[in-house]
Amino acid sequence: MRKLVFFVLLALLWPLTATANPRQVEVGLPDVIRALEAPFQGQGGGIVDFEAEFFQESRIASLDRVQRGRGQVWFKFDRAPGPRSEPARFRWEYRQPSEQEIVSDGKTLWVYLPENSQVIESDIETALRDQPDNPVTFLTGLGNLSRDFSIRWAVPNRDAAGNYVLELEPRRVSQLIARLVIVVDKNAVVQFDQNLRPSLREAGAPVFPILSSTVTDPNGNSTIIEFSGIRVNRGLTDSLFQFIRPAGVEVVRPGQAGF
């Protein structure tokens, strides 16, 4: 079950959305990186929150096994300036292959396993401090990817639809992430360029920049996650990111005997 929880947490790594008819522009690697980071820094039509359906596929190399999951996700990003900004709030609700919930209010992380009648509760600040390479850090640091990762073009650097493909490597040795590939929506790059040039700016909701992500760990395990029906800046309430413990559910904390 701990292995399942690990891959559930590893799945907190990112998405897919799409728009159409982008204007063709010539861009370099720095342009794509800025278009990827800027919406989470309060620039380029900032993204405050999003919700979507998701599909996940995890491949466990040692077992030659593939596990697929589906569900719904909600995210809310802290927009406070400076280094003291809080981690993102999020809620992942899995419907397949089994029901699970992963919830954080920015202070506490809950992983609820209904089939076990257990919820694993931990302090998210402690997790971020003690495990800086944890995928949760990636989630809360989308505005600082170039700080935490070395970023280069993947090979090839465009997909069949003309979107940009980046390869990221952690700047620190990581037990969880060896390689991360992100496909950046070409429409997000165009929109960011328009926002920098007011004469070209067009009204409309910000484009979520990540079409898909694939994370590979040092053991060759990989997780792909894709989103559909993504909606941004919906005004999600903080109460959505609170976990209400059902009656009879046991609370388990890291460090307890047997965990």
Q: How does DSSP assign 103-162, residue by residue?
A: EE-SSEEEEEEGGGTEEEEEEHHHHHHH-TTSHHHHHHTGGGHHHHEEEEEEEEEE-TTS
Query: Tens digit of pLDDT per residue, the chain (259 long)?
Result: 333 333 334 444 333 223 334 444 478 999 999 999 988 886 555 899 999 899 999 999 999 899 999 999 999 987 655 544 567 899 999 999 999 999 999 899 999 999 999 999 998 877 666 655 555 555 567 788 898 899 999 999 999 999 999 999 999 888 888 999 999 999 999 988 877 655 445 556 788 898 888 999 999 999 998 888 889 999 999 999 999 999 999 999 886 645 5
pLDDT at 23: 45
pLDDT of residue 134: 55
pLDDT score, position 218: 92
What's the pLDDT at 159?
94
* Res 245: pLDDT: 93
What's the start-to-end Cα distance of the chain, in Å? 11
Would you call the peptide bond into 156 cis, given omega within 30 degrees of 0 as the criterion?
yes
Domain covering 2-252 in this structure, CATH number = 2.50.20.10
Contact 17, 161 (CB under 8 A): no
